[in-house]
Structure 1
């Protein structure tokens, strides 16, 4: 498919591209779509949070002894209705949950852009929701990483004490395992985050990140992920690791590519150039002025590549369907 500038193709399309990102609270759901959002820009991409569909405020949940991870604490039927309307390009009156106060603000109108990134605890929890998404991702940090991130966010940004956050993590874990974690089986991509082997004391904030995916049948054959081995081995002055292994997740055979350490920016620049060449979108320069890029940042770009790949496939399919109707 001749994409021209794929931003223009998306802008002109009637299609609303729905991307679902599931995972526990504080798991990094927003972080890993950052590169994709920067590539396509705020005129085309908007975010939609499922947190706003809590039914109970913080005090009411405490009195009932229910966590926000339990489906009964969320208005999933209204969420289904609104996601369906967004997929049709229609505006919804969106509820608003205030994480700072633990109460609800007034609803507000939300109109979709051409790409909608939906983040939440339960976006793949029903068959209807799963049918609506075009691409699904599950973010899965291990407990050690998730604890550190949640402490940093909820204490630093949301005003909780460390003891409150620790108690909440322990209270939420059974509901996480019962209602949130099973959604991994429906994800096109799973991101696993573990402590870096190069930062065992976790003083540098480094992580190893693995991207798990099944063989991608819905793909464009000439899209590749270029890695410059010369730049990796001759220019690097910091440790890094790239690995691949086969894993089984919920009965699915998946391939896992793993990044750890710091990568010379020249290596990642080649990936950016490949995105530019395939999509006509450019310049893609996410790390200008940097010498090194972390494994987390590198994986943001790999995931963006995968999300773009699915959207290009969809465009090819829509063009083929249009040609068949003409014939």
Structure 2
């Protein structure tokens, strides 16, 4: 392997390229979960996150008075985010607003300087051509209603202290705006993550889900690098049920491949994936799931997704100096 690949992290750190990933989906849909592996691999020094909640134009009380949900574009300063992404892509520090979930109020602004990899996650990051023009990779997280509602209740009641009845009422009120303004962003995503109840944990008591990665082929990939799935090792080491399936899908006229992972996988199997990423990027050590005997489908797919994103970033670097703006 050449020296450039071995020092990929240093190459990113010294590059002028600001690589921006857009992750769209409903509130509480697991957007942060699926980018965890990327954050773990490259660390806080290279990866930062912008949440679109910070671009709300109305605080919680004002939204209640006006009868508007945060899923409606009019409740968000999308034009400001468009300008901020342009500034960040150019390497400039922005003055970013802050939405306080504890109080439901808008605060700030605070300075935000670009890292080499920026994750923009929220309700509307793929919603306009101007936003998409600044994104190098686009993702949409799409859990089924049963899963999404359970996650949102757990987060908003357990973590944010909201009343359960208020969260349930909000879920119902948000449905029309979700279908009108958030769901259509699937049509602009390079990859879609569909989450449904696991065949091996139908009640979700063990934190297991079936995860489907739906993707179209990147226009540009690095052809000589691979992320191996050793089926022999997976079956010979298996002590718990798992399933892997593939099917072709069409989404809005696009031909896409959908691979589904369900169940649990021995860490030794997933460790081989980590080793492949280590070998092909020079990032050492990658021990995201070290200490776990089994790795869930959600965790395994987050690593595969990270490698897909890394693949795209390597292509940009190997295509020559500079970065798309």
- In the TM superposition, what are the counterparts of 1:52-91 in structure 2 within 5 Å? 52-91=54-93
Give the match for residue 151 of structure 1: 153
Shift of 1:283: 1.2
Deviations 1:116-152 (A, max 9, x none): 1111111111111111100111100000000000000
Correspondence 1:50 to 2:56: no
Between the aligned partners of 1:190 and 1:129, the Cα distance in structure 2 is 18
SS of aligned partner of 2:69 = coil
Q: 2:35 aligns with which of 33, 37, 42?
A: 33
What RMSD, in angstroms, separates the aligned Cα atoms of the two structures?
1.2
Is the 2:227–2:277 Cα contact (8 Å) retained in structure 1? no
Shift of 1:205: 1.7
SS of aligned partner of 2:316 = helix
Between the aligned partners of 2:236 and 2:243, the Cα distance in structure 1 is 15
Shift of 1:25: 0.4
Give the match for residue 195 of structure 2: 193
Query: Any unmatched runs of 5+ in structure 1?
Result: 323-327
TM-score, reference length from structure 2:
0.97
Give the match for residue 245 of structure 1: 247
TM-score, reference length from structure 1:
0.96
Q: 1:8 aligns with which of 7, 10, 13?
A: 10
Give the match for residue 233 of structure 1: 235
Q: 2:23 aligns with which of 15, 21, 41?
A: 21
Is the 2:246–2:260 Cα contact (8 Å) retained in structure 1? yes
Give the match for residue 275 of structure 2: 273
Paired residues, what number? 321
Between the aligned partners of 2:54 and 2:42, the Cα distance in structure 1 is 25
Is the 1:69–1:172 Cα contact (8 Å) retained in structure 2? yes
Q: Which moved more, 1:226-235 or 1:257-266?
A: 226-235
SS of aligned partner of 2:320 = helix
- In the TM superposition, what are the counterparts of 1:281-320 in structure 2 within 5 Å? 281-319=283-321
Shift of 1:3: 1.4
Q: 1:219 aligns with which of 200, 218, 221?
A: 221
Q: 1:167 aligns with which of 155, 166, 169?
A: 169
Shift of 1:317: 1.5
Q: Which moved more, 1:209-218 or 1:254-263?
A: 209-218
Runs of 4+ aligned structure 1 residues displaced above 6 Å come to none
Give the match for residue 104 of structure 2: 102
Deviations 1:284-326 (A, max 9, x none): 111112211000000010000000000001111124x89xxxx
Between the aligned partners of 2:285 and 2:108, the Cα distance in structure 1 is 40
Is the 2:278–2:286 Cα contact (8 Å) retained in structure 1? yes
Is the 2:265–2:294 Cα contact (8 Å) retained in structure 1? yes
Between the aligned partners of 1:4 and 1:141, the Cα distance in structure 2 is 36
Is the 1:91–1:111 Cα contact (8 Å) retained in structure 2? yes
Give the match for residue 117 of structure 2: 115
Is the 2:139–2:190 Cα contact (8 Å) retained in structure 1? yes
Query: Any unmatched runs of 5+ in structure 2?
Result: none
Between the aligned partners of 1:260 and 1:253, the Cα distance in structure 2 is 23
Between the aligned partners of 1:83 and 1:148, the Cα distance in structure 2 is 32
Shift of 1:105: 1.9
Give the match for residue 325 of structure 1: none
Q: 1:262 aligns with which of 264, 267, 289?
A: 264
Deviations 1:256-299 (A, max 9, x none): 11100000111111111111111111111111122110000000
